[in-house]
């Protein structure tokens, strides 16, 4: 589908959460949601006729804790958890990694600044508060991924390494949403800041869409915003009409 033909029926907007809508914090539970963000997302959801979804590596329960009562479409755990039109449509057959996560925490207990974040069917190891432990933390996560086998893969981000089931990926989440109303037939835009968002950028390109990288770093995205504050200002402008973006340099 060409960009022009998709644009005739409007936009579909996909947004990452951490580092995109909110600033990254030292610990995942410590992020701060700006007071006006939920209302901004509600207004944008109405403007887009419901074609707005959050696509995040967090669980949906975690996301709902930060944005209680928002109720818009969301894909958590890189698309493994999906809530579309108020209905949960999670991928089936995912194993609980509780014992493996406990063992990983025990291995890294000597590094109190390292955070092992349980996502039940996956795990993220953060070393933002302990950069001196980066090599050990990354290797511990890689060792677990090797033990779990080909049903899992590693995703690296900003001072974090995640182990997720092989079916996870933000690109797949975007494609699933684009196959159904109210997203189908629209031109998609994806806004994200991290390596895992690159899969979303690739996906929207299939519809001639708009890929927006937040912050510095190499990216497949052709457009860029400086940080979450700039993203929120850009979205505020979009409640009136889709604002222009300068090409990324």
| Tens of pLDDT, residues 80-102 | 999 999 999 888 778 899 999 99
Point out the catalytic residue in the list 16, 18, 193, 197: 16
Residue 178 CB neighbour total at 10 angstroms:
22
The set of residues, in sequence order, having a beta carbon less than 8 Å from that of 165 and lying 6+ positions away, is: 80, 91, 94, 121, 122, 151, 152
Band the pLDDT of 3: cuts 50, 70, 90. Answer: very low
pLDDT of residue 89: 86
For 48-70, write each residue's pLDDT tens digit: 999 999 999 999 999 999 999 99
pLDDT at position 1 is 30
pLDDT at 94: 83
Q: Which residue has the higher pLDDT, 179 or 93?
A: 179
16 has catalytic annotation: yes
Domains of the chain: 3-91+168-238 (3.40.50.1000), 98-165 (3.30.70.1020)
The band of 7, judged by pLDDT with boundaries at 50, 70 and 90, is: very low
Alpha-carbon distance of 230 to 20, in angstroms, equals 9
Q: Is the pLDDT of residue 153 over 70?
A: yes
The residue-averaged pLDDT of 103-114 equals 96
SS (H, E, C) 96-165: CCHHHHHHHHHHCCCCCCCEEEECCCCEEEECCCCHHHHHHHHHHHHHHHHHHCCCEEEEEECCEEEEEE
**pTM for this structure?**
0.86
Work out whether strand 123-126 and strand 160-165 pair parallel, antiparallel, or are unpaired: antiparallel
- 33 backbone dihedrals φ, ψ, rounded to 5°: -90, 120
Strands 223-225 and 210-214: parallel
Confidence of residue 161 (pLDDT cuts 50, 70, 90): very high
Of 9-23, 49-63, 164-178, 234-248, give the lowest mean pLDDT range. Answer: 234-248
What's the CA gap between 15 and 17, in Å, rounded?
A: 6
Give the pLDDT mean for 95-119. Answer: 95
What pLDDT is attached to residue 127? 96
pLDDT of residue 246: 57
Which residue's structure tokens are 């944005």? Answer: 67
Q: What gap in Å lies between CA 53 and CA 74, rounded to an integer?
A: 5
pLDDT of the residue at 5: 34
> Per residue in 14-48, pLDDT tens?
999 999 999 999 898 999 999 999 999 999 999 99
């Amino acid at each position: 589908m060409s960009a022009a033909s998709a644009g005739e029926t409007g936009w579909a907007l996909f947004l990452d959460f951490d580092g995109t809508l909110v600033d990254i914090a030292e610990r995942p539970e410590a992020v701060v949601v700006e007071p006006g963000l939920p209302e901004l997302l509600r207004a944008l959801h109405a403007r887009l006729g419901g074609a707005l979804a959050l696509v995040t590596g967090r669980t949906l329960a975690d996301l709902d804790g930060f944005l209680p009562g928002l109720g818009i479409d969301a894909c958590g755990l890189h698309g493994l958890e999906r809530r579309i039109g108020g209905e949960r449509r999670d991928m089936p057959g995912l194993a609980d990694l509780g014992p493996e996560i406990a063992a990983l925490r025990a291995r890294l207990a000597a590094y109190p600044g390292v955070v092992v974040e349980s996502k039940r069917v996956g795990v993220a190891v953060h070393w933002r508060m302990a950069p001196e432990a980066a090599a050990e933390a990354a290797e511990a996560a890689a060792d677990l991924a090797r033990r779990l086998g080909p049903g899992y893969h590693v995703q690296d981000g900003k001072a974090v390494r995640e182990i997720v089931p092989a079916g996870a990926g933000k690109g797949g989440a975007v494609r699933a949403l684009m196959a159904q109303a109210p997203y189908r037939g629209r031109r998609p835009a994806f806004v994200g800041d991290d390596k895992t968002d690159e899969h979303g950028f690739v996906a929207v390109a299939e519809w001639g869409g708009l890929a927006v990288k937040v912050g510095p770093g190499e990216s497949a995205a052709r457009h860029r915003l400086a940080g979450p504050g700039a993203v929120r200002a850009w979205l505020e402008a979009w409640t009136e009409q889709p604002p222009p973006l300068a090409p990324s340099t």
